[in-house]
Structure 1
Amino acid sequence: MLHEFWRNRESVLRNPRGTPETLKQLDNQRSKALTQITQWVKIASLSTQDISTVVRTLRVAFDSVRDAIEEHEDNQNDLFAKDTNADPLIGELEQILDGRVGPPLPQEELPHLIEEGKRRVEAEIAPGFKDVKAKGVDGAVGDFLVWEQVLRQAKLTGRDVLLVTAENKPDWWRMVRGELRSPHPDLIKELRTRAGVDIYMLQPQRLLDHAMAALKVSVHEGSSESVARVGSSVAGQEDLSTGGWSAETLTELLSRLDQEYRVQAAAIRKAGKQGGRISRDEVYELVPHQATLAL
């Protein structure tokens, strides 16, 4: 797990939100949209003025979204990638994890364990085999190595295991009609065989919910929402860069709003340029302006 963290941390810092790729896709969608519009206006036989208005509206919409994305790019991440001592996340994790992390797997055992992990992945033995498509066999072995550490720690302590994970694939869970019901039966059986204990699994958001209810722990509302959003993103596309949105879906949304709800479209663009927030007064300021345009 530690190796996987360090392998991914630098790439996240270099490209924390997938901004370059998002902008590239946005530009591609812009070109496709302009081509489509150009073909349509020829068939529709619009006047030169109408054509200019349509094209300008499209370009302004894409430019507004592009500007909003670029405003949120954090240039400090390059510094953190070059010097991990300057990375604030590493500093916070160090304090949290100090003295609370188990020993690594013995180096002399790793070659054998990696081969065993590959065998299990190819035989579709939980966990990890569902990662093959996204990570390849070598990447999918990582889940097995984490699981092997869980098995060893459980046997050492003789205690039941509570595993908190954002994973939601059927190589970790027993699923019924798409719902996560319990740990995968193979995991339950293997843990009982190897360590004689039981396993319980929670997703991060559920852990926070239980902490608030059972432990009377104060959890900031934004923390729960952030965990849910990240978990949803991981579950949906194994990628934290877009939060489930693509350039295509965003363009489609703004296009429809421009046609039917111009005030809402203008409000979204303004909020995007202001860090995702817009006051009620600012929305009201847009109403007469949009009404004038409609006339």
Structure 2
Amino acid sequence: MEPNVSSTVGGIFDGFEDYRTPSDDDYRRIFKAGLVVFDANVLLNLYRFNSTTRRDLIAVMQGLGGNLWIPHQVMREFWRNRESTLDRLNDGPRESLELLEKANKTAENAVSAWSKKIALDDARKSDLMDKLETAFRTVREAMIAQAADDAAEHARDTNADTILSTLASTLANRVGSALPSEDHAAALIEAERRIAAQEPPGFLDADKTNEDLRAGDYLVWEQLLREAEQRKCDVLLVTSDVKDDWWSRVKSDLRGPRPELAAEFRERAGSRFFMLTPSEFVTKAAALTSVSVNPRSAADIERVGNPLNDPLPADVAFEVVERLFNHAIAVNWHNLSGSARMRDLSALVDDPAIGGVLQNYFTLEGTRAWMKDTLNRHFNYALKGFGRYQHLVRMRHQTPQEVIAAACGPSWYVVPDSQGLRPYHCLASDGSNSRYVCWGPERSFRDLLFAAMNNHSTEQERSAVVILHGDAVDNAQHYRDMATQAGVDLVFLEEELKLNLDYAP
């Protein structure tokens, strides 16, 4: 008797398309017959790039021809933020010159203290001070001259703005229409639902005070989906927004769109959805198209796209982070509303012991960005026992070792150097056997299950998923059934906040 044969057959990627790594052929196809979409942050950063990098990015955009498309919401955000972008560019030189003056005073005081210590004669001291003043004046004048050149390009008058003029010709007949009023109203409601449910994209914009601002990412997504449905083609989104409500990560590496977004796109448009940062996009375009690009442009885009590249000494960072963490625990930061977070962040910027210290190293904009990143990302990592600042938080949730003990038993331990983020995971061992374990909140169950399935090895015991929860889990049996079907162990662990025994300020 012949064995039973399933009526449907497929390959290893059928139903798992979101795990396929994009190839150069995929990008060639998009450049020739797909849709390439740029986010507002990329367009606004044209004002911040040097002239060579700006020219290269514009050339690549122009080379896309009819495959270039901009959602209406992107242009709305561009116009909404253009003036503030120009303000920050104009403030940048002033703030940098103030920092330079502080450095000049510090250097003068150092020379004076040293000269007193060694009883240096007045003539020699005066000569050193003159050289110091000459050096700082040379740098100061160069900065002022560069700022004047930049200001000439960044004209507020739209008729005199050369960057805007080039962008206007490049995007002519390439910008989509706004959603009809009824559809726009429905999109605002859906955006709020996704934020509450922690569904991508845009749920990390919950701290924005205005409903329209909170819905910005989702409006871009909905307009992009509708255009893809009409054109029936693959889409590449180029964005400097590297938040986790858009991107899938392995440790700190961006690995493309979140699986939920790729699946939703495939279901609605019947095509594939790709994402690249601007620097990655320029690198790909230089390699796969006929457009000539300066090799240094990608590096310049990377530098401009990340406002947190400014150096901060480790000892200063640790001191400020400890104060931020203690404050976050005191005000219960994670449970603050979006408007309350904004007010709290403004107060922290004005705090001499926190914002005042950081402004010795960052601009005002950079200070705010650094603190927001620390509170929204690193504070969460530290609470879970991860990251370089985990020893600076007084209270924390269960450590990775405590999670492993709950999932596998007291004889199991975390394998050294195996811990990772997104999702939280590690290898566990009892000395003879090993297994992959990942954990997170109930809303991340599908991501956790995929990670457990994807990281299982035949040499290991069954992978395990741990759902961390506060209140009772409503769908516990449903999750157990899914885990059983996937061949994964499932454990529910009530999350607790307790003293951090490794606290070492």
TM-score class, shorter: 0.5 to 0.7
SS in 2 for 1:155: helix
2:291 to 218, 221, 224: 218
In the TM superposition, residue 42 of structure 1 has moved relative to its aligned partner by 4.0
Is the aligned partner of 1:200 residue 2:271? no
Query: Residues 19 and 150 (structure 1 numbering): CA distance in 2 closer, same or farther, change over 3 Å?
Result: same
In the TM superposition, residue 233 of structure 1 has moved relative to its aligned partner by 2.0
Instruction: Give yes or no for contact 1:13–1:77 (8 Å, CA) kept in 2.
Output: no
1:169 to 213, 219, 243: 243
C-alpha RMSD of matched pairs (Å): 3.4
Corresponding position of 1:34: 108
Relative to its length, the structure with more strand (as a share) is 2
Structure 1, 102-111 or 144-153: larger mean CA deviation: 102-111
Partner AA of 1:8 in structure 2? N
Partner AA of 2:81 in structure 1? N
Corresponding position of 1:9: 82
% identical aligned pairs: 35
Distance 1:131 1:41 in 2: 54
In the TM superposition, residue 71 of structure 1 has moved relative to its aligned partner by 0.9
Distance 2:216 2:85 in 1: 18
Instruction: Give yes or no for contact 1:167–1:235 (8 Å, CA) kept in 2.
Output: no
SS in 1 for 2:274: strand
Corresponding position of 1:229: 300
Distance 2:215 2:185 in 1: 12
In the TM superposition, residue 108 of structure 1 has moved relative to its aligned partner by 4.3
Partner AA of 2:303 in structure 1? S
Query: Residues 52 and 100 (structure 1 numbering): CA distance in 2 closer, same or farther, change over 3 Å?
Result: same
Query: Residues 11 and 206 (structure 1 numbering): CA distance in 2 closer, same or farther, change over 3 Å?
Result: same
Is the aligned partner of 1:76 residue 2:152? yes
Corresponding position of 1:181: 255
Query: Residues 61 and 122 (structure 1 numbering): CA distance in 2 closer, same or farther, change over 3 Å?
Result: farther
Q: Deviations over 1:220-262 (max 9, x none)?
A: 32xx53343123322243xxxxx8589978xxxxxxxxxxxxx
Partner AA of 2:176 in structure 1? G
Q: TM-score, normalised by structure 1?
A: 0.66
Distance 1:204 1:56 in 2: 45
Partner AA of 1:152 in structure 2? R
Distance 2:120 2:189 in 1: 66
Q: Unaligned stretches of 5+ in structure 2? A: 1-73, 313-358, 362-505
Structure 1, 16-25 or 113-122: larger mean CA deviation: 113-122
Partner AA of 1:68 in structure 2? A
Q: Deviations over 1:44-64 (max 9, x none)?
A: 544333433443333222222
Query: Residues 59 and 226 (structure 1 numbering): CA distance in 2 closer, same or farther, change over 3 Å?
Result: same
Q: Unaligned stretches of 5+ in structure 1? A: 238-242, 250-295
Q: Deviations over 1:46-96 (max 9, x none)?
A: 433343344333322222211111111234357x31x31222222222222
Relative to its length, the structure with more helix (as a share) is 1
Aligned residues: 238
In the TM superposition, residue 152 of structure 1 has moved relative to its aligned partner by 2.1
Query: Residues 45 and 214 (structure 1 numbering): CA distance in 2 closer, same or farther, change over 3 Å?
Result: same
Is the aligned partner of 1:64 residue 2:138? yes
Corresponding position of 2:232: 158
In the TM superposition, residue 219 of structure 1 has moved relative to its aligned partner by 1.4
Query: Residues 131 and 62 (structure 1 numbering): CA distance in 2 closer, same or farther, change over 3 Å?
Result: farther
Distance 2:75 2:234 in 1: 23
In the TM superposition, residue 144 of structure 1 has moved relative to its aligned partner by 2.5
In the TM superposition, residue 132 of structure 1 has moved relative to its aligned partner by 6.3
Distance 1:206 1:76 in 2: 29
SS in 1 for 2:292: coil
Q: Deviations over 1:125-175 (max 9, x none)?
A: 333345667xx4544542222122212222333322221223333332212
In the TM superposition, residue 41 of structure 1 has moved relative to its aligned partner by 4.2
Partner AA of 2:152 in structure 1? Q
Counting only pairs closer than 5 Å after superposition, residues 130-141 of structure 1 correspond to structure 2 as 130=204, 136=208, 138=210, 139=213, 141=215
Structure 1, 31-40 or 189-198: larger mean CA deviation: 31-40
Partner AA of 1:6 in structure 2? W
Query: Residues 60 and 36 (structure 1 numbering): CA distance in 2 closer, same or farther, change over 3 Å?
Result: same
Partner AA of 1:203 in structure 2? T
Distance 2:137 2:204 in 1: 39
